[in-house]
Amino acid sequence: MYKRAEVKWREEGDGIFIFCPVRSEMFKLNATGRIVWAEIEKSLPDQIAKIISTEYNIDHETALKDVGICISDLVEKRLVMEV
Amino acid sequence: MIEVLNTPLFLTWEVTNRCNLRCKVCYNASTDMHPSEINESEASFIIDAIADCKPIFVNLTGGEPFLRPDIVKIAKRFIDKGTDPQLATNGSVYNEEMFLQMKSIGVKSIQVSFDGFEAAHDAIRGSGSFKRALKTLKFLIDNGFSAKVGTIVTRLNYLDIAEFTKYFYELGIKKLGVFRFVPTGRGRENQSLQLDADDLVWLQEKLEQLESRYGIAFFKCDHSLAVFLGKKKNAGGCELGLKCLCIKPNGDVLGCPFFPVVLGNVRETSLVKIWQDSPILKEIREDIRPERLLGKCVNCPNGIKEKCRGGCKALAYETTGSIRQPDPRCWR
Ligand SMILES: C[S@@+](CC[C@H](N)C(=O)[O-])C[C@H]1O[C@@H](n2cnc3c(N)ncnc32)[C@H](O)[C@@H]1O
Ligand code: SF4
Ligand code: SF4
């Protein structure tokens, strides 16, 4: 998974704003989305889920499901690429 | 709840008021240099003030930015600070050397204005301006810039949008900005060029078809229309007071390029301080709360006032004097 080269982002409070200058579209991710964004290029979904379940004290299965949804969403919004 | 960010995400800096064209729609009514324009020795200070906001997007515009002799230096300082600026040009200051310097310092994105095909464009921007802009655009494409086309949609050009998109797509353009005409500045004398609400809805739907046909990315300065049509999950309304600031050629700071109320001057007050403490911005942020909206927004027939926030605030202010009133082109 790679963040698209044109995409810019800025952390704000617990979340993160991600901006696609190609489409001038802005997206906001919550605190768990922020972890996904930070890890997406270096960790597998399972490893990201582990970080989230430890940080937020939720079970691994739920965290993994959330990570999956978040990643598909990022792909659909053309913010990351599956390589 | 209205969320207030620590600093704005989008910064526009109109680096000069000077322009070689006299477009009939220009919201700035740009002509000559402002008598108190931010000069070369002050530019670094302004760039640092912008960088302190950690913006996601910086747009250098004007007037005509390529008429500023130090524009390459300005762009370079932004890049050195880690911010990749976009330049917006009328394309009629053809200067290969300057474009190549921009390329070599790492500028990627330049937007060239085309307000329709030649007849419509020249009617608005002056005779010969289409051909000059096209020459610039082709040079930028050939030299590997991420060139964009920016177009103001008016009565003169909107029906040609499909042909227009195809034409620029075939030239190699992947990004097309479609901007609603905000009739301020010189545009005030040409209000009849505005589209009405039904035309805007037709246009939005047409753009969506074109987007999937050509894979071209459209970016629109019409956030609330996307909300109205419910097409984009993430679409939010007008960004005045919430995400953007604009610095005028003399350092005056506005909430958006089209909203003429001065919040302060960057020569005297930092942008961060203006963003966080300006009493006018605080009032704006109060007035855009859904429960403060007036007129038909009170009982929004579309049930979207939390997201739409009453449409374009600059247009509401221009026509009614209040940002609490609905956008005069509300789509219902
Ligand atoms: C003021 S111009 C300055 C840059 C350059 N001279 C040009 O014409 O592109 C910046 C952008 O504002 C757009 N613009 C100008 N007047 C406008 C108006 N009344 N409503 C909407 N957009 C406008 C232009 O088309 C251009 O995309
Ligand atoms: S829209 Fe651009 S080119 Fe036209 S007068 Fe204004 S600043 Fe100059
Ligand atoms: S009534 Fe107001 S809030 Fe509703 S769509 Fe129109 S402008 Fe937007």
Closest chain B C-alpha to A24 CA, distance in angstroms: 5
How many structural domains are present in chain A? 1
**What's the pLDDT tens digit per position in B31-86?**
999 999 999 999 999 999 999 999 999 999 999 999 999 999 999 999 999 999 99
Q: Which of residues 60-89 of B touch A (CB under 8 A)?
A: 86
For B234, the closest of A21, A22, A26 (CB atoms) is: A26
- Which of these ranges, A26-40, B163-177, B228-242, B283-297, has the smallest mean pLDDT? B228-242
Mean pLDDT of chain A: 91
pLDDT of residue B223: 62
**B179, amino acid identity:** F
Residue type, B192: S
**What pLDDT, on the 0 to 100 scale, is given for residue B197?**
86
How confident is the model at residue B330, as a pLDDT? 83
Residues of A in contact with B9 (CB under 8 A): 10, 17, 19, 26
Contact B5/B242 with Cβ under 8 angstroms? yes
Q: B5 — contact with chain A (CB < 8 Å)?
A: yes
* DSSP per residue, B60-105: EESS-GGGSTTHHHHHHHHHHTT---EEEE-S-S--HHHHHHHHHH
**Cα B284 from chain centre:** 20
Chain A residues close to B78, C-beta within 8 Å:
none
- What is the arithmetic mean of pLDDT over B171-195? 92
Asked if the Cβ–Cβ distance from A22 to B243 is below 8 Å, we say no
B151 and B115 Cβ atoms separated by less than 8 Å: yes
- Encoded tokens for B52: 């302190």
CATH (domain of A47): 1.10.10
Task: Quickly state the pLDDT bin for B168 (edges 50, 70, 90).
Answer: very high
Helix (H) or strand (E) holding A69: helix A60-76
Nearest to A8 among B56, B219, B243 (CB): B56
pLDDT recorded at residue B303:
84
pLDDT in tens, B263-288: 999 999 999 999 999 999 999 999 99
Residue B7 DSSP one-character state: S
Which band of pLDDT confidence, cut at 50, 70 and 90, is reported for residue B96? very high
Instruction: Find the ligand nearest to B329 CA.
Output: 3
Ligand 1 atom with the shortest distance to the CA of B62: 3
Q: Do A25 and B243 touch (CB under 8 A)?
A: no
A9 CB neighbours in chain B (<8 A) are 56
Is pLDDT of A22 > 80? no
Sheet strands side by side (includes B146-153): B217-220, B175-180, B146-153, B109-113, B86-89, B57-61, B10-14, B244-247, B252-256, B259-265
Give the mean pLDDT of chain B. 92
Q: Do B174 and A10 touch (CB under 8 A)?
A: no
Domain containing residue A44? 2-81
- Residue B163 buriedness (CB in 10 A; 0-12 / 13-18 / 19+): exposed
Contacts of B114 (CB under 8 A, 6+ apart): B91, B121, B130, B133, B134, B137, B149, B150, B151, B164, B168
Give the alpha-carbon dihedral of B28, B281, A8, A24, to 10 degrees: -50
**Does any ligand 2 atom lie closer than 6 A to the CB of residue B64?**
yes
Q: Ligand 1 in contact with B194 (CB < 6 A)?
A: no
Question: pLDDT for A51-64, tens place per residue?
Answer: 999 999 999 999 99
Res B212: pLDDT: 86
Neighbours of A60 (CB within 10 A): 13
- Check pLDDT > 80 for residue B230: no
Type of residue numbered B108: K
Answer for the pair B125, B19: CB distance below 8 angstroms, yes or no. Answer: no
Q: How far is the CA of B213 from the centre of ligand 1 (A)?
A: 27
- Are the Cβ atoms of A19 and B9 closer than 8 angstroms? yes
If one counts every other C-beta atom within 10 angstroms of the C-beta of residue B106, the result is 12
Residue of B83, B79, B75 lying closest to B55 (CA atoms): B83
Q: What is the pLDDT of residues B307-317, one digit of tens each?
A: 888 888 999 99
Q: Do the Cβ atoms of B56 and A9 come within 8 Å?
A: yes
